[in-house]
Amino acid sequence: MWLKPVPSCFSMLKPYCSASPPPPTTLKFITAMKTTEEPDVGIFCYISQLPGFRGILKQRYSDFMVNEVDTEGNVVHLTNMDAPAETVKEIETKTHDATSKDYTTEIESFRSLVDPDDAERLEAIINQINSGSEDSILPIVLSPDYDKSHRTAVHNFFKENFKFLVTDTVDGPDASSKCIRVRINSGGQNSRGRNSRKRKERGDKPFDSRGSDDWSENVGKFLRFHLYKENKDTQEALGIIGKMLGVQPRSFGFAGTKDKRAVTTQRVTVFKQLASRLAALNDRLIGIKVGDFCYVKEGLVLGQLMGNRFTITLRGVVADSEDTIKASAIALGKQGFINYFGLQRFGSGSVPTHLIGATLLRGEWKSTVSLFLDPREGEKNAITEAREYYKETNDIEGTLRQLPRHLVSEKAILQCLKKCPGNYLQALKAIPRTLRMMYVHSYQSYLWNHAASMRVQKYGTDRVVLGDLVYCKGNEIEKVSEVVSSECVDENGNDTLDPIDLDDISGTNLPEERLNLVKAVTAEDILSGNYTIDDVVLPMPGSRVIFPENDIADVFHDLAKKDAISLTDSVHNVKEFSITSMTGSYRRVFQKPMDFEWEILKYIDANKPLVDTDFDKIAKTKPSSLNGDGRLHDKTKQSECLDNDIGLQTDDNGAKAKGEELPQAEFLCDTNPQETQTALKLSFTLPASCYATMAIRELLKTSTSVAFHKTLN
């Protein structure tokens, strides 16, 4: 499949937009869209007037490499998979309480409280303890329990009757269920254990079943390591590692979620685990490696990164001449690209996320629930049948049995409606918070993109104009009274998390600009030349942002008004679904790739990698310790080209709105092996929240939409 160039501009548009923006569509009257196209979400313009060229993006997932950049500016690589000499000692404590008593009566009482299968599990674990095989005992997880009061009764039963066991609550098989996990209380018979401490006493720190005394005090309690993965998303990789270690995925901390169809390296922390245990997993892990271990005092949280380093290889490049390729690459490095929110932000389903966000902002709870549950175009038959079944029968139980687990939002809504029929607002609040907030943030992004296009169309890309917003410089900060954070924060002070933004996006925060203030450019500023086009920002609407003091401000308000949404008043009192209850943020309109490098390569075999991954570099120094041919794993590598797509972005976070996923390019590997082809290798760093696909769009002058690439197949 080829990325065919489109005209870079039309003579009637200045400056250089790919198409004239159509009148904004009133989202209120849209029910479904087959696919989301760039103009639908305000993406119209390019900076450069240069023509584009053809290129294949992600012919192999190893053509898209992402290395996290930490807060100190260091690019994260996997360099060593060996565990360091351990200085950590786990203090073992044995629990012999179970062997001193017959628990038949307690087990029978427990049988009356829970399912028979759960009683059998408990009896089995007690028998294991009595047999002296305590070291090999794994935790047991009881059946899903939707009743919190019943779960409390079960917890209390264990506290009263089985002091040598400890319980905690873990996520169930679907979004609205919970399960009780039972394991040995290694704190001893008379120890209340860390788990029995209230959350406030723990300071909301991760739960540690071994207790605070079971770890050397002179060593950090978090193990930090570098996670290298191929063709797996972050949650999937950590889920596999967690299962091998016997810990939950939520025990891990990381700064940003990375995409599946790529080769990525990032930092991860886990609470109180030995490096030797993780290093030992490398022989069993497929498509995943861990290394560069060290112990630290604090775990990673979302947003603790400066950005990402991208190494992208465009294969099958065809242009009028090599000079065209060189000129475009040079222009991207010097001029940058328009810092649009990419199509990934808006999902790839037939109901875009900003449409759902608009209905939430209007307070149309029942309509929003319908958008989630109604049949959609383009889904798999099984999902379509489940949606149609619910629409025809209103049978919640039957629908839940049919819906796949990854539809987290839909299942959470139905579980709540089962308990509270007709309470649509409560049903929407049952969706995990990071997911439900994503929809409102998507609508903010929709407004921002339109405003950015109008700013480029009306005022160009080479100068600051009167009324533009810029981050203040130097002593001017003292002249501005309004303090505004440069990232999205809700009224509770929680940083926003957009699950759609994966490895194509360079993060979720701009920590170095958190305290920067914003002002409107004055005539004096223009005369002084104190600001350049690179300083221009536009707001993500919220209660504490200011708008440009020129006609670009009207774009925000007029477009929102067409959607029956006010940016200054809320029609309902549900704060989390109200722009006026959000602080807001700012985003740079233009972004230049940092440490930008490019190289034109020639190749014959499309099945061979053109750039070494982190693991490839290790393999060259330690070939004997790896699989026979020195590759990370044979099966996936051999099928990499056959499994090929040129998806600019995928999202494999289960029910999260899926990122942009382009169609399969089945015949790309059947190229003539004797024919020399051209590739363009690009390496650059982007700060947090920037989309690499928007940089590639500027280079190739092509749309990143699914529909566009299907027409080229």
Residue appearing with tokens 């775990």: 299
Q: Report the distance separating Cα 238 and Cα 379, nearest Å.
A: 28
Based on the residue annotation, tell me whether 259 is a catalytic residue of this protein.
Answer: yes
The 3 state secondary structure assigned to 606-651 is CCCCCCCCHHHHHHHHCHHHCCCCCCCCHHHHHHCCCCCECCCCCC
User: Is 701:626 a contact under the CB 8 Å cutoff?
Assistant: no
Q: Where are the beta strands (DSSP E) in 550-616?
A: 585-588, 590-591, 594-603
287: left (phi > 0), else alpha (psi -120 to 50), else beta?
A: left
Which residues are bridge partners to 225 per DSSP? Answer: 268
Q: Report the distance separating Cα 594 and Cα 682, nearest Å.
A: 11
C-alpha distance from residue 156 to each of 145, 150, 275, 582 (Å): 15, 10, 35, 40
Q: Report the distance separating Cα 133 and Cα 131, nearest Å.
A: 6
3-state helix, strand, coil in the chain (%, to 5): 35, 15, 45
Residue appearing with tokens 């900076």: 47
Cβ atoms within 10 A of the Cβ of 350, count?
Answer: 17
C-alpha distance from residue 686 to each of 117, 229, 334, 508 (Å): 52, 20, 14, 12
Burial of 569 (0-12, 13-18, 19+ CB in 10 A): exposed
Residue 461 structure tokens: 């890309």
Paired sense of beta strands 518-520 and 536-540, if any: unpaired
User: Which alpha helices (H) appear in 51-185, and where do they start and end?
Assistant: 104-111, 116-130, 148-161
Residue 120 structure tokens: 């059998």
CA distance between the termini of the chain: 6
Contacts of 124 (CB under 8 A, 6+ apart): 140
Cβ atoms within 10 A of the Cβ of 538, count?
Answer: 26
Contacts of 239 (CB under 8 A, 6+ apart): 249
**Ordered DSSP codes for 180-245:** EEEEE-TT-TT--TGGGS-HHHHTTPPP-TT-TTSS-TTS-SEEEEEEEEES--HHHHHHHHHHHH
Q: Is 556 helix (H, G, I), strand (E, B) or coil?
A: helix
Nearest one of 131, 198, 133, 192 to 164, comparing CA atoms: 192
Question: What is the gyration radius of the CA atoms in the chain, in angstroms?
Answer: 27
Nearest one of 311, 279, 358, 335 to 58, comparing CA atoms: 311
Nearest one of 705, 31, 36 to 375, comparing CA atoms: 31
Q: Which of 259, 498, 501, 525 is catalytic?
A: 259
Nearest one of 232, 230, 273 to 251, comparing CA atoms: 273
The 3 state secondary structure assigned to 281-336 is HHHCCCCEEEEEEEEECCCCCCCCCCEEEEEEEEEEEECCCHHHHHHHHHHHHHHC
Overall size of the chain counted in residues: 713
Residue appearing with tokens 């427990």: 110
| Positions marked active-site | 259
